[in-house]
Amino acid sequence: MADITNLIKQYEHEAFELRDSIHREPELAFEEVLTAQKVQAFLDRHKIPYQAGIAKTGILATIEGKFPGKIVLLRADMDALPMQENLTHPNPSIFEGKMHACGHDGHTAGLCLAAAVLNQMKDDLQGTVKLMFQPAEEAIGGAEPMIKEGILKGVDGAFGAHLNGQFPKGVATFKVGGVNASPDNFTIIVKGKGGHGSKPQVAIDPIVVSAQIILALQTIISRETDPLDSAVISVGMIHGGSAPNIIPEEVVLEGTIRTFDKRVRKETPEKMERIVKGIAESYRASAQFIYDPAYPVLVNDEKMTRIAQNALNSFLPETDVIELDRPDMGGEDFAYIAQEVPSCFFYIGIAKDKDHPVNHHHPDFDFDNDVISIQSEALIRSALLYLNEKHI
């Protein structure tokens, strides 16, 4: 069996160049045409077969081992975010209003690196590795449509990984059970009666109504949700008004609901709608509440998580492999995969140290390319240990 670490060093420069190229040309959900072309070019160079155009821009590559066995899937997401990158970045985006600010460029390059290494090892491989390059994780989710097109057919288990700005570089974190919340969204449309700002008595101010709604929504968490149940309601966008002296006709609020419990997930939007409509009516306004459910809760399988833990411990210092006791309120559409096959999703740190965290979805987001190799090795070793433990 070839030395995994040395094989990674053999191919990592190519993966680093790929990450830099993807970072310069970020693409949003289901628009990852250039990114997919770069992934396909990498796979072509290494003579790795693949199917492209799954769920528009998704790719599924396949590495068949010499010996029969199970099928394991490794996954990376490819999309960027609709935000402007700070020009001080050493390798800035050339597309205005688009930026890789969550590490998906590293995930994609890291999975390509894993593909190159595993392809070199296929004569010793027992089983098959499938590599899923997924669009649209940041938006409505590309995992579910790829699953509907059959990418999990025959798959016995899956692993995924995400770069994590809250832990030092190279520190791996994992958790059995619930890992990430269901990241549902909502829209509230408050309609009043417009008028001049100097005569509020003849208008119905939807801005005032919206302010009351925003404050009242938090009482659902503090007064209507069991303190032992985790839930978050955040209003992230407010649209309304066109001038300082005009009371608008309408205000639109948009936000997110994060929960881990199915019952809380069901009940929270029902409570929100009651409060929204009640407050609006009390001010002689009207309101519409629109609930947009997104991904389910991401739940790690215990056996798959222990396999990933053993894989991480096989090449990282023991102090750099940490089992978490709390889940994270972030959402992740790898949850759809975990619903279908036993899976584990873990994290690799990218921060300089514990006192200098890196904020995701921030215009200064960045990480050193060498963490790509760490994440890639973690996925490779997890896959091999799952397929044939003696090869680790």
Q: Are residues 156 and 231 both part of a single domain?
A: no
State whether the Cα torsion 237-240-243-245 is positive or negative: negative
Q: Are residues 86 and 140 both part of a single domain?
A: yes
Q: Are residues 352 and 247 both part of a single domain?
A: no
pLDDT digits (tens, 9 = 90+) for 173-191: 999 999 999 999 999 999 9
CA 324 to the chain's CA centroid: 18
Query: Do 357 and 94 form a contact (C-beta atoms < 8 A)?
Result: no
The burial of 319, by beta-carbon neighbours within 10 Å (0-12 exposed, 13-18 middle, 19 or more buried), is given as exposed
Q: Are residues 287 and 322 both part of a single domain?
A: no
Separation of alpha carbons 344 and 129, rounded Å: 15
Residue 391: pLDDT over 90: no
Separation of alpha carbons 297 and 339, rounded Å: 9
> What tokens were used for 138?
């940041």
Rounded to whole angstroms, the maximal C-alpha distance in the chain is 80
pLDDT digits (tens, 9 = 90+) for 238-263: 999 999 999 999 999 999 999 999 99
Residue 364: pLDDT over 80: yes
pTM of the model: 0.89
Mean pLDDT of 328-348: 96
Separation of alpha carbons 96 and 22, rounded Å: 14
Q: Are residues 30 and 158 both part of a single domain?
A: yes
pLDDT digits (tens, 9 = 90+) for 159-169: 999 999 999 99
Q: Are residues 22 and 42 both part of a single domain?
A: yes
CA 211 to the chain's CA centroid: 31
Separation of alpha carbons 331 and 347, rounded Å: 13
Mean pLDDT of 58-81: 97
Q: Tell me which residue has tokens 């420069």.
A: 13
Tell which of 239, 273, 292 closes a domain. Answer: 292
Residue 390: pLDDT over 70: no
Separation of alpha carbons 300 and 306, rounded Å: 10
- Residue 382: CATH number of its domain: 3.40.630.10
Residues 6+ apart with CB under 8 A from 155: 71, 72, 73, 130, 340, 341
Tell which of 275, 292, 309 closes a domain. Answer: 292
pLDDT digits (tens, 9 = 90+) for 1-47: 569 999 999 999 999 999 999 999 999 999 999 999 999 999 999 99
The total of structural domains in the chain comes to 2
Q: Are residues 335 and 361 both part of a single domain?
A: yes
Tell which of 256, 271, 292 closes a domain. Answer: 292
Residue 319: pLDDT over 80: yes
Query: Do 40 and 52 form a contact (C-beta atoms < 8 A)?
Result: yes
CA 242 to the chain's CA centroid: 35
Q: Are residues 98 and 205 both part of a single domain?
A: no
First to last CA, the chain: 9
Q: Are residues 246 and 361 both part of a single domain?
A: no
Q: Which domain holds residue 147?
A: 4-180+297-391
Amino acid symbol at 213: I
